Structure 1
Amino acid sequence: MRVVIVGAGEVGSNIAASLCDSHEVVVVDHDPDRVEELNYSLDVLAVAGDAASIETLEDADVGAADLLVASTDDDETNLASCGTAKALGDAFTIARVKQYGYLRTWERAPGTFGVDFMVCSNLLTAEDIVKIIGLPTAVDVERFANGLVEMAEFEVDDDSPLVGQTVREADRYEMLTFAAILRGETVELPRGDSRLQAGDRVVVIGPSETVHEFASTATPDETAGEAEMVFVVGGGEIGFQTARLLQERGISPRLVEQDAERARELAESLADTVVLQTDATDANALDRENFGEADAVVAALDNDQKNLLVSLLAKRLGAGQTVAVVETGEYRDLFETVGVDVAVNPRTVTAEEITRFTRENTTEKLAFIEDDRAEVLEVEVDDDSGLVGRPIRESVPDLPGDVVVGAIVRGRELLSPRGETVIQSGDHVVLFVDAERAEAVTAAI
């Protein structure tokens, strides 16, 4: 497949890196230095020029492309690129936008703007934040098989009772699967005698109620239930969408916004949200609003430094979980190192969503672990699958890579995968796979 990616920032570069091994990839960017860097670092053809210009897209031979991904930081440039691509050929077009209004317009009339599929960074980020708040002790959460199966990633703290236990000792739940142990830069597929250490991150897969029970075991001194008192700091688009989604889940958040006019707009739009017009860095004002008693605080201000400050202030005042929006991807690890519980990068979330879509023909749902170090994917297997008709202990070792079967859904029944379990045609199977072998594994099943 010939893929043209418009924009070589964090989003475009991540998508290019995930596709270039198996597709012909062309990247267009206005920055000549970035273009030169990509030509050396990835197996792609990088073209310098204005992505909204028909001449530049002709130079990239968009007319012969099967897929165009418009992923710059400017919504209008992305929409113009998609419209131009339709004028030049028949590529399937994907546009990244920040403004939710463009998505609402496109949803009313798919194909508008010349866009075949649209992703909204701000909405995706808010959705990611709300999933994490739903399981406060987790650092990542995804749902599969229409919500029957949940994947969650937990950090094993120094005082966790899991420290020193083997996986066999920690696995007290019939329907839970230990999919991976993330230790430093390594991804270990757990065995019964694998011993958990402080600082490990553990990935588990199972029904939601079982994952929540495990969360109580992993971090017994913290609440594993859904947060009830939530502060959202920052009334921009991500903050607004986060509050709106929390309302839909029956949570009435408190939203902090300093600008008086914007605060009025938010109060009018969010009926079940208490909007506080105050400075988010004023510790005394926040203390008066019981900021330190919050189950969760979301920092969604307009720059990374403010979000870090608010998150650390929330921790100092006694708040439970802190989730910070981090626009600069390389700061994510830094934020979590200095005390922020979870750092969410909108560009990474968007790149993952677009990559999921480009692989929809082989997977029904795809989630990424630790910035593409591993993948969790859901597939419906048929008679030709290498997994069908044999016990898991025999079929999985034949796959081209390390794989853990995390869950099996047969009809509406959730099955616990064990070595003797035989997968049947039509089953939905949730798999944990090393990222480098993911495409080979999906091809084999």
Structure 2
Amino acid sequence: MRVIVIGAGEVGRSIAANLADSNEVVVIERDSEIVEELTYSLDVLSIAGDGTSLEILEEAGVEDADIVIASTDNDETNLVACGTAKTVSDAFTIARVKKTNLLDTWRRTKGAFGVDFMVGSDLLTAHAIVRIAGLPGAHDADVFAGGAVRMAEFEIAAESPIAGETIREADRFDSLTFAAIFREGEVTIPRGDTRIRAEDRLVVIGSPESVQEFATELYPAEARDGTDEVVIVGGSEIGFQTAKLFEDHGLKPRLVEQDHDRARELAEELPKTTVMESDATDAEFLSREHVDEADLLVATLESDQKNLLVSLLAERLGVDRSVAIVESPDYVDLFEAVGVDVAINPREETAEEITRFTREGEAENVAMLESDLAEVVEFEVDGDSLLVGRSIQEAMAELPECVVVGAITRDGAHITPRGDTRVEAGDHVVVFLATEVLDDVLDKI
């Protein structure tokens, strides 16, 4: 498949890297220094130029392209690039936008602006915040098979009840699979005698009830308190969309915004949210407003430094859990290392969503973990699959060791896979695997 990626910032570079192994990728970028660097670092064709220019698009081979992805930091540039590509090509166009009103317009008339699929980065980030907030202690979470299967990633604390246990000892949940452990930057597929260590990132796949039960055992205090009291700091578009989603879930969040006009606008648009006009980096204000009573604080200011400061102040006051937006991907690990519970990078979320969409021809759904070190993939099994007609144990013998069948759904019912479980044609299977073996495995199963 020929893919043209316009813009080689953090989003475009990540998309190009994810797709380069199994596709013919062309990257268009204005900055000639970045173009030169990409030529040596990725297996892509890099072209210096303006992605809205028909001449540059034709140089990139847009007439023969299957997909055109406009991923610059400018919404209007992305829309024009997609529209220009459509004048000479039947390629499927994908545009990244921040402005939610553009996303709303596109949803009313699919194909508007010459865009076949639009990704709203701010709304996407808000959904990620709310999804994680609903599961105590989770660093990542996603759903599969129409909600019948849930995947979550948890960091194991030293005081965790399963720290020091083997997988066999920890496996006391009816519908749960321990799919993988991320340890010191590497993927480990756990066996029965694998011992769980503090600071491991543990990936589990199972029914929503079993994953929730597992989270409750790991983080009993958070589960007991729930996530009823939410404080959002920053009236950015991400902050607004997050508050709106929490309202849709029946909550009444509090939102802190310093700018008078923006605070007034938010108060009018969020009927169930209490909007407070103040500087949220003011420790006295946070104490006076009893922010320490919050179950969750979400920092969505437009500055990484301020988001870090607010999160750490909240942690010191006694907030149960903090989530911070981090614009620089290099700071994500730093934020979590110094005490922020979950750090979310909007550009990374956007890159993952676009990459996920480009793979939907191979799979029903895809979740990317640890900056695409591994993936959880859902697919419908056909009669030619390696899985059909044999037990999972037999099938796994012909697949790489870094593959785990995490869950099966048959006619909407959840099945917990075990070694003697047999998969039938038409089943939906959710599999954990290292990204490096993705293409090889999907060809077989």
Cα separation, 1, equivalents of 2:405 and 2:116: 33
Residue 19 of structure 1 aligns with which residue?
A: 19
Residue 222 of structure 2 aligns with which residue?
A: 222
- Worse-superposed segment, 57-66 or 217-226: 217-226
Deviation at 1:224, TM superposition (A): 6.4
What is the total number of aligned residue pairs between the two structures?
A: 445
Cα separation, 2, equivalents of 1:223 and 1:284: 28
Provide structure 1 residue ranges, at least 5 long, that are not aligned to the other structure. Answer: none
Residue 240 of structure 1 aligns with which residue?
A: 240
Q: Is the contact between residue 257 and residue 263 of structure 1 (CA under 8 Å) also seen in structure 2? A: yes
Residue 347 of structure 1 aligns with which residue?
A: 347
Cα separation, 2, equivalents of 1:108 and 1:85: 22
Cα separation, 1, equivalents of 2:260 and 2:277: 6
Letter in 2 for 1:80: V
Letter in 1 for 2:349: V
DSSP-derived class of the 2:357 partner: helix
Residue 323 of structure 1 aligns with which residue?
A: 323
Q: Deviations over 1:258-293 (max 9, x none)?
A: 111111111111111111111111111121211111
Cα separation, 2, equivalents of 1:59 and 1:186: 40
1:291-330 maps to which residues of 2 (within 5 A)?
Answer: 291-330=291-330
Cα separation, 2, equivalents of 1:211 and 1:89: 45
Cα separation, 2, equivalents of 1:24 and 1:174: 44
Cα separation, 2, equivalents of 1:234 and 1:206: 35
Deviation at 1:402, TM superposition (A): 2.3
Deviation at 1:225, TM superposition (A): 6.8
Deviation at 1:220, TM superposition (A): 3.2
DSSP-derived class of the 1:405 partner: strand
Cα separation, 2, equivalents of 1:295 and 1:86: 48
Residue 438 of structure 2 aligns with which residue?
A: 438
Does structure 1 residue 428 correspond to structure 2 residue 425?
Answer: no
Runs of 4+ in 1 over 4 A off after TM superposition: none
Q: Deviations over 1:382-432 (max 9, x none)?
A: 111111111111012212452111111001211111111100111111100
Cα separation, 1, equivalents of 2:411 and 2:368: 26
Residue 195 of structure 1 aligns with which residue?
A: 195
Q: Deviations over 1:171-195 (max 9, x none)?
A: 1012110000111111111100000
Cα separation, 1, equivalents of 2:435 and 2:307: 31
Deviation at 1:17, TM superposition (A): 0.6
Residue 402 of structure 1 aligns with which residue?
A: 402
Cα separation, 2, equivalents of 1:47 and 1:224: 55
DSSP-derived class of the 1:242 partner: helix
Cα separation, 2, equivalents of 1:416 and 1:361: 26
Q: Is the contact between residue 137 and residue 224 of structure 1 (CA under 8 Å) also seen in structure 2? A: no
Deviation at 1:56, TM superposition (A): 2.1
Cα separation, 1, equivalents of 2:94 and 2:83: 11
1:6-405 maps to which residues of 2 (within 5 A)?
Answer: 6-223=6-223, 226-400=226-400, 402-405=402-405
Deviation at 1:299, TM superposition (A): 0.4
Cα separation, 2, equivalents of 1:247 and 1:178: 33
Cα separation, 2, equivalents of 1:72 and 1:442: 31
Deviation at 1:202, TM superposition (A): 0.7
Provide structure 2 residue ranges, at least 5 long, that are not aligned to the other structure. Answer: none
Letter in 2 for 1:82: C
What is the aligned-residue RMSD (CA, Å)? Answer: 1.1
Letter in 2 for 1:350: T
Cα separation, 2, equivalents of 1:392 and 1:438: 18
Deviation at 1:122, TM superposition (A): 0.3
Q: Is the contact between residue 212 and residue 225 of structure 1 (CA under 8 Å) also seen in structure 2? A: no
Cα separation, 1, equivalents of 2:225 and 2:374: 27
Cα separation, 2, equivalents of 1:421 and 1:112: 47
TM-score after normalising by structure 2: 0.98
Cα separation, 2, equivalents of 1:326 and 1:224: 28
Deviation at 1:163, TM superposition (A): 1.4
Deviation at 1:303, TM superposition (A): 1.1
Cα separation, 2, equivalents of 1:7 and 1:225: 44
Q: Percent identity?
A: 59
Letter in 2 for 1:162: I
Q: Is the contact between residue 294 and residue 319 of structure 2 (CA under 8 Å) also seen in structure 1? A: yes
TM-score after normalising by structure 1: 0.98
Cα separation, 2, equivalents of 1:355 and 1:299: 27
